[in-house]
Structure 1
Amino acid sequence: MIKRILLLIVLISSTSNILGQDRLITKANEKYAEYSFSPAIDIYKKVLDKGYVSPDLLKKLGNSYYFNADYPEASKIYKRLVDDYGDEVSAEDYFRYAQTLRTLGQYDESKAVMSKFTEMTSDDGRASAYKSERDYMAEIAKNSGRYDIGPFEYNSIYSEFAPSFYKKGILFSSDRDTGNLARYRHTWNSKDFLDLYKVNSDSASLNLVTKLDKNLNTRLHESTSASTKDGNITYFTRNNMKDGKYVKDENGVIRLKIFRAVAENGVWVSIEDLPFNSDTYSIAHPALSPDERTLYFASDMPGTYGQSDIFKVAINQDGTFGTPENLGGNINTEARETFPFVSADEILYFASDGHPGLGGLDVFATKIKNRTYNGTIFNVGEPVNSKMDDFTFILDESTKKGYFASNREGGMGEDDIYSLLETKPLEFDCIQRISGTVRDKISSEPLVGATIKVIDENNDEILTAITDANGNYNLQLDCNQGNFVRALMQGYVPSEEYLGKSTGEPMAIDFYLERDTVTAGFGDDLAKLLQLSTIYFDLNKYNIRPDAEIEIQKVIAAMEKYPSLKIQVNSHTDSRGRDSYNLWLSQKRAESTVEYMVSKGIDKERLLGQGYGETRLVNGCDNNTRCTKEQHQLNRRSEFIILE
């Protein structure tokens, strides 16, 4: 099997049920649990040849082939499992079976199996993706043809993959083991261990391949690297080891870690594993952001969505690291997401077998916007993607040249690197989030139920939204085009904002709508028309409270806007106290309100004040009724009645 599969982070979820006393089954299950798939396959096959079969054996044999990327053999075993033990088949078995069928080009059969998978799962993101992308093959076809690809000059009969830019050349991983007669082999697939190699370049052409020195390469795996632009720092993947010896977890698995190597004058002087590595899960496949302040990687650490997820971690100015963060459920699925790469234009490329693809691992791309990862995810299509595994994609945005690896047919080795030239960039959806509040221009009160319309430059209405109980709205625009955002409310003059093409930064747009003056007339309560809070007074007081000042200011603003507007201030009291006292108190409240407005510039000739005492109670709290303080408060109020 392909060498780089060794470095895919896999979380095997099947259980190890030891059946009977069969020594071979026990031994095979032990190898399977250690991810030693190659010897496990040999033993399981011997058992099958002896006529012993069980659903557990078929599952583990199928998975062993699957994780060794022997998809034809895996497909045969999964088919036997489904045909003979239908009641024992899990959703994950159906998913892997569908994946193997796609690698064989049997897309109709794969769809039928995926339908069974979606029937068995309700909250699995992969099921949702396939339900919503029934025509995903047409979408992939639309994205295809954007790259010209060719062979990599330095492929061999062994595995080459994981290219990364290094100074003016590249680094890559291979099991060719140049110059070493004593080959180390790994029991996952009985192939040689991986080392890092360098291809130098000058202004004319690529030169010979050289193996990195022994400070970086050990007798275990080194792979998937990412270097700073000056080449002085390189992050790379290595098996877990300490003092030159490998370290196993409690299940006998040698996990993966990311190491940082620092060079001085071309010599690697410091190599250290990163502080968030672990002996109990894997951290692998580093990639750097364009500003080299963020490290992306793949891991099966606790909290992953699936078998492996893509994470990021901040690189601080002093070289320390922040806390790793999962990129979230838009990127990561319940399957494998791995091998990230971020281009200079902040496009995240990664390999996945969880998003709809052509088979095996496919390369996907999404635009990073404002440090978020919620944009549309594109399958980059053929010829980069194929029926087999395609992964470790990198691209130089300045030259549009890059590389990727694949185990497709026609290669020299088990994995091969291919060169590529981007001839047509992907057209990413530009999603811009717009939010805001719609308010009355005079009172500044939020308008509930106002309509927000988005109209394109062809004057076509493309979406609408309604303001909530607080007058707020939220919507998303296509920022690849210009849009008009329009706010409408019955009784108000519409308002509109134009937004041109943008890079998608979120925007806040508040609308302040003017009232249609025809809707207000003689005898109307201006406070209600302006949706003001009621003007209340304290018990036995007629001074203007601070909260009342805010509301009266809105009435003043309306009178300033409409110079012909005249109002009468009607003030009231509760029923407590003598009637004559309450009538006097209410008149003082009306006069106090008028005086306040005059002090703010309103002509006294436009104002009248009238006190009504307790004659116009709003809730029946008269002298014969027992009421709470809160109920009495409702009657101590002022109104603003339109006279003209």
Structure 2
Amino acid sequence: MKNFLLLTMMFLILSSTSLLSQSSNKNKMSKADKAFMMQNYFEAEKLYKDAYSKEKNRAKKTELIFLQAECARNIGTPLHLKKATAMYKRAIKAKYPHSEIFLRLAQVLQKQQKFSDAIIQFEKYKTFKPEDERADIGIQSCLFAENALKNQSRYELSPFQHNSNQDDYSPCYSSRDYDEIFFTSSRDESFGKNKDGFSGNSFTDIYWSKYDNKKKRWSKPSAFEEPMNSGDHEATPTLNKRGNEFYFTRCMQNSNVKPIPTCEIYFSKKKGKSWISPVLLPLPYDSVSSFAHPSISADGKVLYFSSDMNGGYGGKDIWYIKKIQRDEWSEPINLGDEINTSGNELFPFIHQDGSLYFSSDGHVGMGGLDIFKATFDSENNLRFIDNMKSPINSCNDDFGIIFEDNEERGYLSSNRIGSKGDDIYRFNLPKLNITLSGIVTDFKTKQIITSATISLEGSDGSSYQINTDNSGRYFFDKDLIKENVTYQLNVSSDGYLSTNFTQSTIGIKQSLNLVQDIILEATLKEIVLPKIEYDYNSAQLRKESKDALDALINVLIENPNVVVQLRSHTDNRAGDDFNMELSQRRAQICVDYMVAKGIEPMRLIAIGMGENEPFVMDVKDGKLKLGILLDNKFIEKLKRKKDREKAHQYNRRTDFKVVLDSFYDSESDRVLPNKN
């Protein structure tokens, strides 16, 4: 009996302990779920891990493995990404029932540059959810990232010297000399004493640092005093061009009312050397939506920001408001679905040239948030969206980019491999050393031409002129030849026809010397245009004849001081008077055509030669051998009608000869050529 009572008591105690354990585990699960919902991933991860160690149910244990992986993925450090990968694989092995696990595993593999493995997981996810565009975008992004890492742009990156062991991100320039920056940091000396559950760091504040030109270094960062900084999150500062208006994001502490912290945009004005107490920017705030990442245009009239407010296209979208008058703004306007996606578009930056930089995880990219550049036309219509590629972008999160005006340098933020969380990086596009040189020679003699004039005009508005030296060479050095410019070269010399060339530095990715050797043809010589031919007894221009005249027009445009004589010829199948009149009409119709195209009449002389100058073959053409004079005596000896017609066609022609290279387009200085 005593033994029975003892056994009964032991059973009751064990049952009670089991019930208490189950109750305790449910309580931990509830706390973990709440922490996860509030994005307190560090806390949630610990609670899920603790709950897993006490859970007996196999299906629930599998769910807890997945939830731990989700926490690690959202924390996103390189160590946590590895951890997430292992946990997702464990959950898959334990038969986790939901297909989303393959998408999540693919995403963390992509961030670790394991592109082939990531594509396999994206493909698996597609078999379950073929309609979900995230799989196709993920596959395209992996292929894009592989190529981008192999073909990197010329940008160079280096870490900001005052990055801390916590998060540092989203700098902005606060002076026109670019020698002072404001930025966001969660370093230990922050105002707020609470820890952020998302990152595990202190709440963020806004800091400033000034560059010392003598010491060539930035000063130790200092935090703004209250009320600019507070016990909440302050982040993502931006200033107008004058530096007297300051906008930033403030995110309230977590609470039961707002399970996920909502963010609002504040602004402050400078009074003297101090900033007045910040006030809330008038936006349609509610208890759910967040408004963050302000960026003000150079003139202070347009402010861009990111928000998940109603009316967007997915997660967080980029919106803008226009200043109506002092402290009064328009209603928010969405940038549209060409920029905004079903993912997240964040951290806008409006460049002084009107282009918009932003970060997105919804466009094809390298993984995580990528930085993109949107270019607009003069009517503010979107032209292009370009991924900034590697090394600006990595397979992790890249965001918060800023530029110096008219320069390819600035700062960005990233949690890429090698960072200590979110870090600030300086970037710079090194200037290429591009030169342009060549030698100018005579077409016929092959001799060098000294003192030839080379005029250079760039698509950027630049204009230079130099002469060839005693060796016939010319040289434009690296200070004159710029990147991404198309140049027109005009080369001229006394006694020669001018010529034009085009050289471009667009797309050049390394320093080099562009070589453009130039050959000039001497003027005052006869030039035959064999394509100006006519039908029998006709003065009408054929299409191919017009094409030949167009080529001559281009020569005359390039050589505005040249006067030419157009001489038309006939075959010998009519009387002398008729042929002379026909050839004159043929010459004149060529002149009329060219005048209609813009050539000055005084530069064109029409002469009818009749049948007086038969053509001398300059090429072999069947029975018509090189050097043969196609006169009446020779043509009558040809047996085939086909050969005779061909000879007559060679004789029906117009050629031209340069008779003057010193024509001036003014009545007082005009030199008139002699027709003889």
TM class, shorter-length: 0.5 to 0.7
Give the distance between the partners of 1:321 and 1:294, measured in 2 at CA.
9
CA contact (8 A) 2:190 2:202 kept: no
2:51 is aligned with 1:39: no
Q: Deviations over 1:128-159 (max 9, x none)?
A: 54576774236534762231111212222222
Give the Å deviation of 1:375.
3.9
Alignment of 1:203-602 (within 5 A): 204=214, 205=216, 206-240=218-252, 246=253, 248=255, 250-276=257-283, 277-370=285-378, 374-411=382-419, 413-423=420-430
For the 8 Å contact 2:99–2:125, the answer to whether it is kept is no
Which segments of 5 or more consecutive residues in structure 1 lack a partner in the other structure? 1-17, 241-245, 426-479, 482-644
SS in 1 for 2:248: strand
Corresponding residue for residue 175 of structure 1: 186
Q: CA deviation at 1:24?
A: 1.6
User: Cα gap change, 1:238/1:126 in structure 2, threshold over 3 Å: closer, same or farther?
Assistant: same
Is 1:200 the counterpart of 2:204 in the alignment?
no
1:25 and 2:29 correspond: yes
Q: How far apart in 1 are the matches of 2:366 and 2:23?
A: 37
Whole-angstrom CA distance in 2 between matches of 1:266 and 1:123: 57
Match of 1:84 in 2: 94
Query: What is the alpha-carbon root mean square deviation over aligned residues?
Result: 3.2
- Cα drift, residue 258 of structure 1: 0.9
Q: Structure 1 residue 48 and structure 2 residue 52: aligned?
A: yes
Given that 1:82 and 1:89 are in contact with CA atoms closer than 8 Å, whether structure 2 keeps it comes out as: no
Larger CA deviation: 199-208 vs 249-258: 199-208
Task: Tell me which residue corresponds to 1:140.
Answer: 148
Q: Does structure 2 retain, via aligned residues, the 8 Å contact 1:19–1:25?
A: no
TM-score w.r.t. the length of structure 2 is 0.54
Distance (Å, rounded) in 2 between the aligned partners of 1:378 and 1:78:
33
CA contact (8 A) 1:341 1:394 kept: yes
CA distance in 2, matches of 1:112, 1:373: 38
Distance in 2, matches of 1:85 and 1:311, equals 42
Deviation at residue 127 of structure 1 after TM alignment: 4.5
Deviations 1:357-401 (A, max 9, x none): 333222222213356574443221222222322221112242322
Match of 1:464 in 2: none
Q: Please give the alpha-carbon distance, in whole angstroms, between the structure 1 residues aligned to 2:137 and 2:254.
A: 38
Contact 1:177 / 1:194 at 8 angstroms: preserved in 2?
no
- In structure 2, the partner of 1:446 is none
Distance 1:151 1:271 in 2: 31
**What count of residue pairs does the alignment treat as equivalent?**
402
Greater shift, 273-282 or 138-147, is seen at 138-147
**1:351 shift after superposition:** 1.9
CA distance, structure 1, for counterparts of residue 107 and residue 265 of structure 2:
29
Q: Secondary structure at the match of 1:100?
A: helix
Instruction: Check the 8 A contact 1:143/1:380 in 2, yes or no.
Output: no
CA shift, 1:414, in A, is: 2.2
Distance in structure 2 (CA, Å) of the matches to 1:131 and 1:103: 13
Distance 1:37 1:138, change over 3 A: closer
Aligned-partner residue type, residue 47 of structure 1:
A
Q: CA deviation at 1:317?
A: 2.8
The one-letter amino acid paired with 1:78 is Y
* Structure with bigger gyration radius: 2
Q: Secondary structure at the match of 1:377?
A: strand
**Pair 1:112-2:158 in alignment:** no
- Shift in CA distance, 21/130, structure 1 to aligned 2, threshold 3 Å: closer
The Cα shift of 1:171 comes to: 0.6
Q: Does the 8 Å contact 1:248/1:255 carry over to 2?
A: no
- In structure 2, relative to structure 1, the CA distance for the partners of 1:210 and 1:76 (3 Å cut) is same
Counterpart amino acid of residue 188 in structure 1: F
Percent identical pairs in the alignment equals 29
| Structure having greater relative contact order (Cα 8 Å, sep ≥ 6) | 1
1:291-331, Cα deviation, whole Å (9 max, x unpaired) = 33221111122233333222222222323121212222222
- 150, 164, 167: which is aligned to 1:159? 167
Q: Is the 8 A contact 2:248 2:266 kept in 1?
A: yes
Which SS does the other structure have where 1:185 is aligned? coil
Deviation, 1:236, is 0.3
SS of the residue corresponding to residue 316 of structure 1 reads: strand
2:250 maps to amino acid: R
* Cα 1:348/1:79, change in 2 over 3 Å: farther
| TM-score, normalising length: structure 1 | 0.57
Name the SS for the 1:263 alignment partner. Answer: strand
Partner residue of 1:100? 108
3-state SS in 2 of match to 1:262 = strand
The residue identity in structure 2 corresponding to 1:174 is S
* Cα pair 1:144 1:380 within 8 Å, conserved: no
Q: 1:116 to 1:327 in 2, by over 3 A?
A: farther
Contact 1:226 1:286 (C-alpha < 8 Å) held by counterparts: yes
Asked whether the equivalents of residues 260 and 273 of structure 1 are also in contact (C-alpha less than 8 Å), the reply is yes
Distance change in 2, residues 1:262/1:72 (3 Å): same
The answer as to whether partners of 1:33 and 1:251 remain within 8 angstroms in 2 is: no
Cα offsets for 1:530-557 (capped at 9, x unmatched): xxxxxxxxxxxxxxxxxxxxxxxxxxxx
Residue in structure 1 matched with residue 451 of structure 2 by the alignment: none
Conserved? CA contact 1:327–1:373, under 8 Å: no
Equivalent pair of 1:283/1:300 in contact (CA under 8 Å) = yes
Secondary structure of the equivalent of 2:347?
strand
The aligned counterpart of 2:68 is 61
Find the aligned partners of 1:95 and 1:291 in 2 and give their Cα distance: 43
8 A contact 1:147–1:424 mirrored in 2: no
CA 175–131 in structure 1, closer or farther in 2 if over 3 Å, else same? closer
* Whole-angstrom distance in 1 between the partners of 2:379 and 2:235: 27
Are 1:331 and 1:373, in contact at CA under 8 Å, matched by a contact in 2?
no
Q: Quick check: 1:314–1:322 contact (8 Å CA) kept in 2?
A: yes
Deviations 1:61-119 (CA, angstroms, capped at 9, x unpaired): 332222211322222233334443464223xx443322210122210011122223445
Q: Indicate if the aligned counterparts of 1:177 and 1:183 stay in contact, CA closer than 8 A.
A: no
Is 2:197 the counterpart of 1:187? yes
Shift of 1:409: 3.2
- CA drift at 1:47: 1.9
Judged with a 3 Å threshold, the aligned counterparts in structure 2 of structure 1 residues 260 and 127 are, in CA distance, closer, same or farther, namely same
